[in-house]
Chain A
Amino acid sequence: MEKILVCIKRVVDYNVRIRVKPDGTGVVTDGVKMSVNPFDEIAVEEALRLREAGKASEVIVATIGDSESQQQLRTGLAMGADRAILIETAAGVDPLTAAHAFRALVEQENPDLVIMGKQAIDDDCNQTGQMLAAIWDRPQATFASKLEVEGSTARVTREVDAGLETIEVDLPAVVTTDLRLNEPRYVKLPDIMKAKKKPLETLQLADLVSDTGEQIVATHWATPAARSKGVMVSSVDELLGALKDKGLLA
């Protein structure tokens, strides 16, 4: 296998407690720590492991976003990716537009495998990988917890509601990662220094995809209703009493 393309997204760090803006126009992102989407970090790690196992020769990380997203590409490079591509746009993109942009990039780069996180932890859409596979007319293996590449096929174990499903796909294909696929490596300081010298190319989103108009219009953000504070009991008997009071036990 020659190339693996890994698609990543800059998101609010998973440790940040999100606050909705009082006017309902979004969530507060000013001064908030931003990171690589955790599922995408797993995707980078998996690509690197394939390269280290001699199954691929080059790992490219790509993202769509404004110039700030270079930071996340640099993280991917520091982890070990060979080069990076920023598809630059000032505005956020919806998953369908992202899929079309990555499709255009696939046209340029001809990867044998595209790996990305199963969902971004900001919009929680869980769509881009599937959409890319659809418009590319190639296989998809979503929610992967195990990936084995052999020649021109990949065998992927998927985490599904019923258990673990294994499918076989012809390459090229799109794989989306689930949490148990691997544990991403820590980036060391020398790697961060080295990453600064690695190539980072910038393309313009507008050159890759034509504007398809807004697919789904976000109209309002709100804070979810909180569950009301419960009671503490001090013994099993009190617990049983409280459950009986609620009609949950006979």
Chain B
Amino acid sequence: MSKILIVAELDGNSLNSSTRKCVACAAATGADSIDVLILSDQCGAAAAAAAQIAGVNKVLTVEAAHNAAPLAAVLAPQIAAAAPGYTHVFGPSTTFGKDVMPRVAALLGVGQVSDIMSVVSDRSFTRPVYAGNAILSVEVPADKIVVATVRTASWQDAPDGGTAAIEALNVDCAIPGHTRFVELASAASERPDLQTAKKVVSGGRGVGSEENFALIYKLADKLGAGVGASRAAVDAGYVANDMQVGQTGKIIAPELYVAIGISGAIQHLTGIKDAGTIVAINKDPEAPIFEIADIGLVGDLFDIVPELEQKL
């Protein structure tokens, strides 16, 4: 009998799609039941969305003012208090899940499986190590609760189709006051979200400046694509950190990924390995990006990108 509890990630008060990936992964384990736990100051909208996901049995809400911001130190004891009775506790391998889930695991006195790529059995999984240059199979002993994060790029969204019950949950635990939320500075964008976009256009150091990035935005808008960047472009200050794609940024799996002026450092390639089709545009024919690109075009991006944008 496996019972899986999924810790939902919220954007403000709405459900982040990473929660659907966790449901897909949980379903792949052959779980007997899947519950979703929502911690927020306003759970309503996210709970309603989670209740519609196919495969979800129950949605549990913990609505409290102290859950307004996703502080790991505040959320973890509540999640740990909700965990008894479950065989597995899953969260997404996003910065939210990476922050909170190990704290939950330690409170429960167990290890954590990070970044589940595939499910072998209900206690056996594969995960990437060495920046994805090796794939490790791991097994959690039968007497231990399985605490894990789900590598979102490896899983499809679990679709709608469910009608789960929504229940308020009382958790009995002390809430620490030693950690306080101050602010979230977010580069608001009208473009498709990088992590869920079907198409992504990314720029690298070759783009040369913040102003030149206008070329990338223009092409992305024509394609209806999200916009990403390499670490070099972020470090150089061309774009904000939340656009970074790669090992330490976002790991994404769009149907189409267009890399412009990106040489293709291994850390960047780690972030795009699961993309459907990778297009590379770079003036250096020796750039490593061409080793993994499905379609490569050597040339000056300042000629190619405007022409491409115009002909689309």
B111 within 8 A of A: yes
How far, in whole Å, are A159 and B199 apart by their CA atoms in the complex?
A: 24
How far, in whole Å, are A127 and B110 apart by their CA atoms in the complex?
A: 12
A206 within 8 A of B: no
Q: Shortest Cβ distance from A152 into chain B, in angstroms?
A: 10
B163 within 8 A of A: no
- Given A126-B114, A145-B241, A159-B95, A220–B184 Cβ distance below 8 Å? no
| In-complex Cβ contact of B130 among A18, A127, A130 (8 A) | A18
How far, in whole Å, are A19 and B138 apart by their CA atoms in the complex?
A: 19
Contacts of A127 in B (CB 8 A): 102, 105, 111-112, 114
Q: Is the pair B182, A168 in contact by a Cβ cutoff of 8 Å?
A: yes
Please classify the interface of chain B as helix (H, G, I), strand (E, B), loop, or mixed, using the class held by over half of its residues: mixed
How far, in whole Å, are A143 and B99 apart by their CA atoms in the complex?
A: 9
Q: Shortest Cβ distance from B303 into chain A, in angstroms?
A: 9
Q: Is the pair B114, A163 in contact by a Cβ cutoff of 8 Å?
A: no
Closest to B231 in A: A179
Q: Is the pair A220, B311 in contact by a Cβ cutoff of 8 Å?
A: no
| In-complex Cβ contact of B139 among A161, A219, A236 (8 A) | A219
| In-complex Cβ contact of A167 among B126, B144, B180, B256 (8 A) | B180
How far, in whole Å, are A51 and B115 apart by their CA atoms in the complex?
A: 36
How far, in whole Å, are A20 and B107 apart by their CA atoms in the complex?
A: 34
Q: Is the pair A134, B293 in contact by a Cβ cutoff of 8 Å?
A: no
Q: Which of A233-248 contact B (CB under 8 A)?
A: 233-240, 242-243, 246, 248
Which segment of A59-67, A93-101, A185-193 sits at the interface? Answer: A93-101
Closest to A15 in B: B266
Q: Which of B231-265 contact A (CB under 8 A)?
A: 231, 234-235, 240-242, 248, 250, 255-256
Q: Is the pair B138, A218 in contact by a Cβ cutoff of 8 Å?
A: yes
- Given A179-B231, A233-B295, A163–B187 Cβ distance below 8 Å? yes
- Given A18-B130, A124-B114, A222-B137, A163–B107 Cβ distance below 8 Å? no
Q: Is the pair B115, A124 in contact by a Cβ cutoff of 8 Å?
A: yes
How far, in whole Å, are A178 and B234 apart by their CA atoms in the complex?
A: 13
How far, in whole Å, are A237 and B71 apart by their CA atoms in the complex?
A: 50
| In-complex Cβ contact of B103 among A140, A145, A237 (8 A) | A140
- Given A122-B129, A160-B96, A169-B179, A230–B296 Cβ distance below 8 Å? yes
Number of A-B contacts (CB under 8 A): 246
A142 within 8 A of B: yes
Q: Is the pair A224, B114 in contact by a Cβ cutoff of 8 Å?
A: no
Q: Which of B56-114 contact A (CB under 8 A)?
A: 71-73, 76, 94-96, 98-107, 109-114
> Number of A interface residues, CB 8 Å?
82
Q: How large is the interface on B (under 10, 10 to 19, 20 to 34, 35 or more residues)?
A: 35 or more
A232 within 8 A of B: yes
Closest to B295 in A: A242
A133 within 8 A of B: yes
Q: Is the pair B130, A215 in contact by a Cβ cutoff of 8 Å?
A: no
How far, in whole Å, are A234 and B7 apart by their CA atoms in the complex?
A: 48
Contacts of B277 in A (CB 8 A): 243, 246, 248
How far, in whole Å, are A133 and B178 apart by their CA atoms in the complex?
A: 12
- Given A127-B105, A127-B114, A248-B277, A237–B134 Cβ distance below 8 Å? no
A216 within 8 A of B: yes
Q: Is the pair B231, A222 in contact by a Cβ cutoff of 8 Å?
A: no
Contacts of A122 in B (CB 8 A): 129-130
B2 within 8 A of A: no
A91 within 8 A of B: no
Contacts of B107 in A (CB 8 A): 134-135
Q: Is the pair B294, A230 in contact by a Cβ cutoff of 8 Å?
A: yes
CB pairs A–B below 8 angstroms (23 shown): A18-B134, A122-B130, A123-B129, A125-B114, A127-B114, A128-B102, A131-B105, A135-B106, A135-B107, A138-B178, A162-B184, A166-B183, A167-B179, A170-B178, A215-B140, A218-B137, A219-B138, A220-B137, A231-B296, A236-B297, A248-B256, A248-B276, A249-B312
Interface residues of B (CB under 8 A from A): 11, 71-73, 76, 94-96, 98-107, 109-115, 124, 126, 128-141, 144, 176, 178-187, 195, 199, 231, 234-235, 240-242, 248, 250, 255-256, 273, 276-279, 290-298, 304, 307-308, 311-312
